[in-house]
Amino acid sequence: MPKKTKTKLIDKKNIRKDGRKLDELRSIKLEIGVLNNADGSAYIEQGKTKILAGVYGPKEVHPRHLALADRSLLRCRYHMAPFSVDERKRPAPSRREIEISKVIREALSSTLFLEYYPRTSIDVHMEVLQADGGTRCAATTVASLALADAGIPMKDLIVAVAAGKVENKILLDLNGDEDKIGEADVPLAIMPNSKVITLLQMNGLLSVEEFKQTLNLAMDGCFQIYQHQKESLSKKYAEMKEESE
């Protein structure tokens, strides 16, 4: 019988299974305004992770008793499609999806001027079409763009990415296998211009030094993704300008 060897995710030259360096993001594709019937929408591909976001609002709140007198009610729904993972996922919201919806709502709400639209609601739907790690962060990044596409006034975009520890090394933007096998991961969301942190979680164990390193790496990753966000918005508005001329 051949001896079972543990699969290595990082080789001797510090190259990961998908060909990336330790501090390299997965390739990112962003598109804005992909849905006709939503007030705002966006789509992200980050490596093999694929997520669609649609925003409805500001609009009348249903049920009405949930309306807030001084601001808009921001509701976020992160959902994984049944076909988004290798074994069919039950469509009903899981505890994990409820938790992720909550942390994303909190991450997004601090940048929005919700007080401009009292007694209304803004609904953000994030549908994970394919999950391969980092979905809460990619969903946050794409939801922020969908909100911008809906014209919701905001102080800044929100951008998110995770970094973590795998096989004793600190890595940026963990994919599904790295997330599963790794020792720790730290999802981070920030307002890139003020560097205010709006989401910070940690799964697993890190020393204080490792945590600082992981956080700095995730920060760098956020700034890189922010450039993609800005480019995708500029592209969308350049196209709109061309169409109107």
Which of 136, 165, 228, 236 lies at the binding interface for ligand ADP (CB under 6 A)?
136
10 Å CB burial of residue 127 (0-12, 13-18, 19+) is middle
Q: Is 47 in the site for ligand ADP (CB under 6 A)?
A: no
Stretch that binds ligand ADP, among 8-16, 111-119, 131-139, 142-150 (CB under 6 A): 131-139
Q: Where are the alpha helices (DSSP H) in 87-207?
A: 95-109, 135-149, 176-181
* Per-residue binding letters, 160-179, with ligand ADP (x by CB under 6 A): ----------------x--x
DSSP string of 35-92, one letter each residue: -SSSSEEEEEEETTEEEEEEEEEEEE-SSGGG--SSS-EEEEEEEE-TTSSSS---SS
Q: What are the percentages of helix, strand and coil residues in the chain, rounded to 5?
A: 30, 30, 35
Stretch that binds ligand ADP, among 7-15, 112-120, 126-134, 191-199 (CB under 6 A): 126-134
Which of 132, 149, 173, 178 lies at the binding interface for ligand ADP (CB under 6 A)?
132
Smallest gap, in angstroms, from Cβ of residue 179 to ligand ADP?
Answer: 4
Q: Is 85 in the site for ligand ADP (CB under 6 A)?
A: yes
Contact 71, 114 (CB under 8 A): yes
Q: What 3-state DSSP class applies to 165? A: strand
Q: Is 199 in the site for ligand ADP (CB under 6 A)?
A: no
Which of 71, 77, 89, 105 lies at the binding interface for ligand ADP (CB under 6 A)?
89
Q: Is 140 in the site for ligand ADP (CB under 6 A)?
A: no
Smallest gap, in angstroms, from Cβ of residue 151 to ligand ADP?
Answer: 28
**In DSSP terms, which residues pair with 51 in a beta bridge?**
44, 128
Smallest gap, in angstroms, from Cβ of residue 177 to ligand ADP?
Answer: 9
* Per-residue binding letters, 93-122, with ligand ADP (x by CB under 6 A): ---x--------------------------
Rounded distance between C-alpha atoms, residue 26 and residue 20, angstroms: 8
**β-strands 169-172, 203-204: how paired?**
unpaired
| 87 CB neighbour count, 10 Å cutoff | 5
Q: Which residues bind ligand ADP (CB under 6 A)?
A: 85, 87, 89, 96, 131-137, 176, 179, 187
